[in-house]
Structure formats: C-alpha cells, structure tokens
Structure 1
Amino acid sequence: MLKIPQSPGDLALLLDRLTLAGGVDLHLHSTCSDGAKTPQEVGRAAVEHGLRAFALTDHDTMAGVVDAKEAAGDDILFFPGIEFSAVDCGEEVHILGYFPQLHVPEVEAYLEERRRDRRDRNDRMLDKLRALGYPINKKALAAYGGKGNASIGRVHMALWLVDHGEFNSVPDAFRALLSEGKPAYIARPRHLISEVTDVIKKARGVAVLAHPAQYGWCRFPDYASTRTRLRERLLQCKKAGIDGVECFHGEASEEERRLLFDVTTELGLLRTAGSDDHGRIDTHAPMFFGTTKFI
C-alpha cells in the first residue's frame, strides 16, 4: 500500500518528485463542488487513465476524499486536497491545499465559514436571477449539488439554466449572467493568501498556487517583462506562505508551462501538475494520463 508522508516537507518533496516523473493529476473536481463526476467516478477514472497519483481538490470541501480514495484502491497514490479562494492585489486567486490525512479537523472551522459565505451569496444571486425572470429557488439549486458538505455555487445555477432551456451551455450562462460584472453576479468574501496558507500550514498541509497563467501573469508585452513581473508575483506569494506553483495546468500553453517551471525552480518552490478536470465537456481540460509527461 502506498502511503503519504506525514511531514509537510516530505509531502512537498513527494509532490514535486512525482510531478517531474509524470503521469500524475493533482487537480481534479467532483460533484462535491463543481465537477460532473462523483468522487467514486473520479477515483475510478484515475485508475482507468493509468495515473500514478492523483488528488481530489474540490472547492472549499473535503467531502469526497474518502470515497475517491476507496474507489481508486490501494495501488495508486491519493492526495486529499482542497481548492481555496483567496485575494492577491485585489484579484481572485486559487490555492490548492494538500494534506497528509483524509480528515483535517484543523481546517473544518474555516471551511464551515466559507460554506456559510457560499450559502449567503447563493441566496442573494438567486434573488437576482428571479428578479431577472428566471424561476430558480434554493430547493432546485440544491438538487444540482452533491451530498453532505458539498459546495454549491454558480456552476449549479448555470446547469439549471441550461437544463431549463435558458442557455445552450454553462459558459453561455456565465457570460450572460453569472460572471463578475454580469447582472446576477455577487462577490463573496475573500481572504488574503497569507490567511489561507496559515490555515493549511496549521493542518500540516502544503500550499500550492493554482493555475497562475489563468490570472494573466504570463502575458506581458515581451518575454523579459513577463518573466520579471511573474517572478515578482510568485516571490510575493512565497513570502505569503505558498510552497509551490501549479506549473503544468491543463489549460496552460507550452510556453506558459516552461516559463512557470523556470521561474518556480529559480525561486526554490515545488512544481506540480493538474488538469483541473471537471468531468464534463466544457472549457476545462480533461484528466491527464499515466503517460502524460510535463518536462
């Protein structure tokens, strides 16, 4: 049986080593947040894809980690994780927390607070949607989410809108109503990166900055200015407690991956890879394979 190190330092080294060897996927979602596959289906898919290791990283919840691990069996290494939201220089960023155990009581109080934030935001967005003429309510929205402490949010609103013929796709619903600046959008409270990493560290976890290329950090007028600016941002994140960077994201280009790898390595941060697969055909990349190489 493959086991995860209990020491945060050893856990970080293992994540880095496995990524460089390839055949891992450390960023996956299930129906416990905004994914389409159940945790069991994610676990079975990881085995079918021949992965050497995988992580379930649902938004603000660990409700699916036990089921995902059990479904995958003992011959594949599993990392329990969470995708947290934070704010950096006024913009939203995501942080992946990886933990050495399936149950993390040190994080639960923080997650319950985030779930309350989500419920409050959902109620206010549902009010806006109804005012715009879309007859969705809390009960209807809940039917689109997972069980227990599953995270329910905008994706589930979009799925309802698509199923009721209001839009052709989830991205269409976001572009028209649910994205920032659109008629039904409501922002929810965000915490600083340092606050999120503090929660992760208290639980002996490892904090990784998710998909920085999606924040526009790899797009500047020329390579020199891009590298300089990226280094500045990642150095700020390191000072805020970030241990590593998701250099190999499913939607990042080869150029973005190489730049992130080079700067992350220069700063002495660990490197990880994650597809960010949500289990449906949309704008997200599909799950990696055991044959997937990153360098």
Structure 2
Amino acid sequence: MMRIDLHSHSSVSDGTEPPEKVVGHAIAAGLDVLALTDHDTVGGVAAAAAHVPPGFTLVPGMELSCAYEGSSVHLLAYLFDPDHPELAAELRRIRLDRTERAATMVRMLREAGVELTWQRVREIAHGRAPGADLGDVGADDVVGRPHIARALVEAGAAEDVQDAFDRWIGSGGPAYVARYALDPVRAVELVRAAGGVCSLAHPARGEGALTGAVPEPLVERMAEAGLGGIEADHPSHDEEETEHWRAVAERLGLVVTGSSDDHGELSGHRLGIRTTDPAAFERLIAPATGASLITGPTG
C-alpha cells in the first residue's frame, strides 16, 4: 500500500535537516508521498522538489500559525497558490512577527543573564556554523522558538530542548512573548480562497490558555468554512485521543489524516511513524486548484 506522510519540517523552519535531506529520509523510511509543511512558508519546497526521484511525490504545503482565545491552533495547508495576494500578505506578516518575537525573546534572555546572541540563534536557524556569514539568508526563512531552545542548550542554560521550553520560553515562561497569528476560521477561508485544502494539525495538543484539545465548536466552524480533514493520527495522541478525533472527523464529514510531524533530529527522525490512507488523501486533495503535486521525472 502507498505510504503517505502529510506533516514534516525542514531547516527552512524548525526542522534540523535541509529540504533535500528530508526527501532523502522520506525515501529511506519507505514513503511514497511526503508533504513538506514548514511553519508559515513554502520556502523549502523548491529545494525539496529538485531532489524528488521517479516514483516519489512531494506535496507542497505549510503549517499555518493560528490562535484562538490565547491558545495556538495549527492548520496544515496543502496545494494552495503561495502568490495569492491576501494569503501571501498574511504569511509575510506572520513571518516578520515570528522573527521579531524571537529577537525580543533573545533580548529578554540576555537581560536574565543568559549568554546568548541573536547571531548564534540565526546561525542555528539556518544551519550555519558559529561566525557564519548570513548575507544569503532568504526572506522566506523562519526563526522560531525551537532555534532559541537549541541555542539555550548549546549555551548550557538548558539540559535539552524541552527543558529550554519548560524553563525559559514556553507559555508563561520568563522569556515568553506572544505573537501574531490568524483566526483559525479565517485561515481556512484564506487557504480555500488560494485554491488549497487543509487539515487541522494535532487537535488534542493545545498550547497557551487552552492546554487541552482544540474546542469542538471551533472545529465545527472551521469545517463550515471549508476545513477538509483532521490530523487524528499524530504521534502525540494516545489511543483514546486518536479514536475521539477520528469520531469527530466522521461526524463532520472530514477526512482523517495521519502524519509524523517530523522535525529531524529534534523528533528522532520519525518520518512515516503515522501515515494517511491513500483513499483519504485523494479525497482531501480533490478540491485543490492552487498548486500541483510534484512527482519525480519519468524519463
């Protein structure tokens, strides 16, 4: 059976591997289809596409930042037109705010006595050695909290990435800063207007004011706006949570998606640990008109 993973990250956002290596890991993991879903950007898709071999399919996508009543809600968007004016404008605003937020957090950490530099955080974000020239960094690249967390570990201010979040930069931490994000219903509408389709990411894993699951009334409104699926099969979901969100998807007439949410070394290179049924995948992408699947050369 075809193996499909619809949620992965590269070093263009908060993964540890460049896009082309993510494709290589996906092939080694026995996947046939992979969605590259970096945070709020498709900046890694072109590099990944250049390394797609025959018989393999890359799904252009992203994980879109949303917020609801002080809690993060994440939306997996696929096959949209990245040049759609309204969506592109929102993505630029999100990326700019994300970088400004990261710089503010670094300043707060330094004020708290942590030996950390913005230069080093940017180097980590872009996979560069200390002292590297960052003049060629593209505008679509994202600097986020996982990069700060890795810098904190490197500086000896945290034992590991999770400790960095728990001790310093997680919600409520001494260096936490909120950021701009879209309303989830509005996000679904924008993706659909750009010809894309979307699935609600890891709905049982909340962050911020809502520490539990995404509220079902919100999911219902997202479904009315054009949400196509729910990522019920996610590594962070236990069996009960998976079954619950499968039932929610069925009740709302949505596709169930399954994905690894791989971040490379940070997540233990787990591509393919959860997958999406091929029939569900075909149903999910059927309405998409904004972009095409990328397949390897045939001749």
Normalization by structure 2: what TM-score? 0.80
Give the superposition deviation at 1:178: 0.4
| Of 248, 260, 263, the match for 1:278 | 263
Aligned 8 A contact 1:51 1:289 in 2: no
Identify the match of residue 247 of structure 2 among 232, 252, 262: 262
Q: 1: distance between equivalents of 2:211 and 2:2?
A: 23
Q: Which residue of the partner structure matches residue 287 of structure 1?
A: 271
Shift of 1:49: 1.1
Q: Which moved more, 1:106-115 or 1:232-241?
A: 232-241
When residues 86 and 230 of structure 1 are mapped into structure 2, their CA distance, relative to the original with a 3 A threshold, is closer
Counterpart for residue 223 of structure 2: 238
Query: Does 1:109 find its partner at 2:84?
Result: no
Structure 1 residue 33: Cα displacement = 0.6
Tell me the amino acid that sits aligned with residue 44 of structure 1: G
Given residue 99 of structure 1, which amino acid in structure 2 is its aligned partner? L
What aligned pairs does 1:22-171 form with structure 2 within 5 A after superposition? 23-99=3-79, 104-106=83-85, 107-146=87-126, 147-148=137-138, 149-171=140-162
SS at structure 2 position matched to 1:204: coil
* Cα deviation digits, residues 239-266 of structure 1 (max 9, x gap): 3442211111122122222221122012
Amino acid at match of 1:132: A
Deviation at 1:144, TM superposition (A): 0.9
TM-superposed CA distance for 1:207, in Å, is 1.8
Is the Cα contact below 8 Å between 1:28 and 1:276 reproduced in 2?
A: yes
> In the aligned structure 2, how far is the partner of 1:35 from the partner of 1:286?
12
User: CA–CA distance in 1 between the matches of 2:63 and 2:273?
Assistant: 21
Instruction: For residue 58 of structure 1, give the secondary structure of its aligned residue in structure 2.
Output: coil
Superposition deviation, residue 124 in structure 1: 1.5
Task: Give 1:158 deviation, angstroms.
Answer: 0.9
Structure 1 residue 136 displacement after superposition? 2.2
Give the Å deviation of 1:121.
0.9
Deviation at 1:231, TM superposition (A): 4.8
Q: Distance in 2 between matches of 1:269 and 1:61?
A: 25
Note the C-alpha offset of 1:70.
Answer: 2.3
Secondary structure of 1:213's aligned partner: coil
- Name the amino acid aligned to 1:35: G
1:203 aligns with 2:188: no
Once the two structures are TM-superposed, the CA of residue 233 in structure 1 deviates from its matched residue by: 4.2
Partner of 2:295: none
Partner SS state of residue 244, structure 2: helix
Q: Give the C-alpha shift of residue 48 in structure 1.
A: 1.0
Q: Quick one: structure 1 residues 62 and 210, their matched pair in 2 at CA, closer, same or farther if it must change by over 3 Å?
A: same
Secondary structure of the residue aligned to 1:211 is coil
Report which of the two has the higher share of helix: 1
The whole-number CA distance in structure 1 between the counterparts of 2:71 and 2:94 is 18
Which sections of structure 2, spanning at least 5 residues, go unmatched? 127-136, 281-299
Contact kept? 1:22, 1:291, Cα under 8 Å: no
Percent sequence identity over matched residues?
A: 33
CA deviation profile, 1:110-169 (whole Å, cap 9, x unmatched): 221111111221221121011011232322211011342211111111111111222220
Q: Using a 3 Å threshold, how does the CA distance of structure 1 residues 237 and 100 change in structure 2: closer, same or farther?
A: closer
Q: Return the alpha-carbon distance in structure 1 between the equivalents of residues 71 and 194 of structure 2.
A: 26
Residue 59 and residue 218 in structure 1: after superposition, are their counterparts in 2 closer, same or farther (change >3 A)? Answer: closer
Segments of 5+ residues of structure 1 without an aligned counterpart are: 1-20, 221-228
Counterpart CA distance in 2 for 1:94 and 1:185 is 19
Give the 3 Å change call, closer, same or farther, for CA 80–292 of structure 1 in structure 2: closer
The answer to whether structure 1 residue 183 and structure 2 residue 174 are counterparts is yes
Per the alignment, residue 251 of structure 1 pairs with: 236
Amino acid corresponding to residue 248 of structure 2 in structure 1: V
Contact preservation (8 Å) 1:63, 1:150: yes
User: 1:14 aligns to what?
Assistant: none
